[in-house]
Structure 1
Amino acid sequence: MVDGILFLWFILAALSVVFVSVDVRHTPESPVLKWAFVLISAYAGPFGAFFYVLGCREPLPGLHARFVATRWRQVLGSTMHCVAGDGAGILAGAAIGSSLHLQASVHVALEYVLGFGFGWTIFQALFMRDMAGGSFTRSLRSTFIPEFLSMNVLMAGMLPTMMFLMVAIPGSDTPGHLTFWFIMSIALLVGAVVAYPMNWWLVAHHLKHGMMTIRRPEAAEESVAPKKAEEMPKMDHRETALTHASPPSTTAVVKMAFFSVLLFVLGIIIAVISGTWH
């Protein structure tokens, strides 16, 4: 029964990756979010493809900017960006930690460091440096807090899910078993759901971008939508968030940082209480 479910899951995941990889080439989205949806489809299979169609895929030619302008789609793009980048590091940390049979606390620390490091330096600072005037250093500074808040909440959702399922399903704690990767997929999905509200706050307060619309010059000329509304190639986080809210105060950011750490600690406590922490 379990083997059949796993077989079906990974077949659907492979088909989802192929579909998104081919289709996203025709979607006028930023390159980093195109890669994000491909990675999400690899992590979450048909759910990733569903998120892509629901939140990013252009419904009709020339309507992408209008389609993604709604707040919930902006936040979906922000969340997918977070999960794609952080997820790559988290999966690498989980595989290394499980292979080396590291103590749980070291294992989780490795996942956090690799997830945060890859998500922050590569998926956020490097890929989004144009929004910081092309400066990687400035981009590192501007993306640190958003990445920290989002990563904490993502891990808060992932940890209890991952720990509980690995205890519930025998033999699933080693990367050599397909069950391990299935559990990591489910954990990332749960983490994305938990991280969505935090990303809503980040987008609403200009600390993270959402979806964007970037067309080639020749494609923009043929578009039925106004060119200015469609082109957003080099804007900062404030302009791409599509919101009129004011940037948050330092006090508000500190409070949200404390809240995110509290959620992360709560996730660890739930894992401890469930008897899965060794």
Structure 2
Amino acid sequence: MLLWFTLTGASVLFVIIDIRSTPESPVLKWGFVLLTAYTGPIGAFLYVLGCREPLPGLHERYTAVRWRQVLGSTMHCVAGDGIGILAGAALGSVLALPNLANIAVEYALGFGFGWTIFQALFMRDTAGGSYKQALKGTFVAEFLSMNVLMAGMVLIVALGRSLIPSPLNPLMPEFWFVMSMALLVGFTVAYPINWWLVARNLKHGMMTVRRDEVGADDLPTLGEPSTASAMEGARAESPEMGHAHRAGEKGDNLAAQIIGMVVLTTAIFAIAVWVALMVEAG
């Protein structure tokens, strides 16, 4: 355990120094620092593999591949949610909350911080600078990702508590080691849902600060109505109308998929909580 914390400290120091020269968004830079603090050398490895510019001028092309975009999306989720989750776990331990109440506090604080601060506030420029619009636009993606992240975490925390004889509290190194392993597993199991979200433009991935910022009018939208045509008397469907119709169908299909994912991820989280409670009770 001492080796793990030593490697974590060295990894965080490396990322803090090295990432200053990486042409990445400031919020994602902080995200990688936090991820490395949570996951030690594995976080540093993911930074080098997924975000660190291999040669000057190649960051855009290097991070454009889908798996690196998803890596950035998942990292952003875990970095922000992790702060609230750790605060909730520490609070629950100090107050000696029952297991289910402890999970509820971790979820509430993790989701609240990740959604309102790390997603909506820090990324509001992608919503035209409107915090309210950013809250609306990031809620579903944050909810889906949080469900799967917490599903992985509660199982590892329950396993850790069952293997460590004394109750975990923030003054013990075992507490931070177990939470570190839980966040690492949570990151891993949240990666697939973030792939789904990035593939459907519901979450962003890596960024490059050298690029001009994308304006709100340049962001892809689903189901955007086309401008009315001046073709009077035309009964056949115009190409523009056809495009709008197809976009509308695509938007309806995406809405159905989102509902399905809400049900699926909520069920996964509920099952994980049930299993975790059984492990800790047994």
Q: Would you say same fold, with TM above 0.5?
A: yes
**2:184 pairs with 1:189:** yes
Return the match for 1:83 from 71, 78, 83. Answer: 78
Return the match for 1:50 from 45, 52, 60. Answer: 45
What is the CA–CA distance in structure 2 between the aligned matches of 1:277 and 1:38, rounded to whole Å?
36
The answer as to whether partners of 2:147 and 2:268 remain within 8 angstroms in 1 is yes
What does 1:203-214 correspond to in 2, within 5 Å?
203-214=198-209
| Residue in 1 that maps onto 2:151 | 156
Deviating more after overlay: 59-68 vs 264-273: 264-273
SS at match of 1:141: helix
Shift of 1:233: 2.7
Unaligned runs of 5+ in 2: 221-246
| Residue in 1 that maps onto 2:137 | 142
TM-score (norm 1): 0.87
| Residue in 2 that maps onto 1:220 | none
SS at match of 2:96: coil
Shift of 1:23: 0.7
Return the match for 2:259 from 242, 254, 270. Answer: 254
What is the CA–CA distance in structure 1 between the aligned matches of 2:275 and 2:77, rounded to whole Å?
23
| Residue in 1 that maps onto 2:58 | 63
**2:260 pairs with 1:265:** no
Shift of 1:136: 0.3
Q: Give per-residue Cα distances to partners, 1:253-276, cap 9 Å, x unaligned.
A: 1000111101101111221332x0
* Larger gyration radius, structure 1 or structure 2: 2
What is the CA–CA distance in structure 1 between the aligned matches of 2:167 and 2:195, rounded to whole Å?
33
What is the CA–CA distance in structure 2 between the aligned matches of 1:234 and 1:138, rounded to whole Å?
16
Amino acid at match of 1:270: V
TM-score (norm 2): 0.86
Give the length in aligned residue pairs.
252
Unaligned runs of 5+ in 1: 1-5, 216-230, 240-244
Instruction: Work out the percentage of aligned pairs sharing the same amino acid.
Output: 58
Shift of 1:104: 1.0
Shift of 1:238: 5.4
What is the CA–CA distance in structure 2 between the aligned matches of 1:272 and 1:103, rounded to whole Å?
10
Q: 1:172 to 1:51 in 2, by over 3 A?
A: farther
Q: CA RMSD in A?
A: 1.7
| Residue in 2 that maps onto 1:233 | 213
What is the CA–CA distance in structure 2 between the aligned matches of 1:199 and 1:238, rounded to whole Å?
19
Q: Give per-residue Cα distances to partners, 1:107-149, cap 9 Å, x unaligned.
A: 1110000000000000000000000000000000000000000
Q: 1:145 to 1:57 in 2, by over 3 A?
A: same
Shift of 1:171: 2.5
| Residue in 2 that maps onto 1:15 | 10
SS at match of 1:207: coil
What is the CA–CA distance in structure 2 between the aligned matches of 1:206 and 1:235, rounded to whole Å?
15
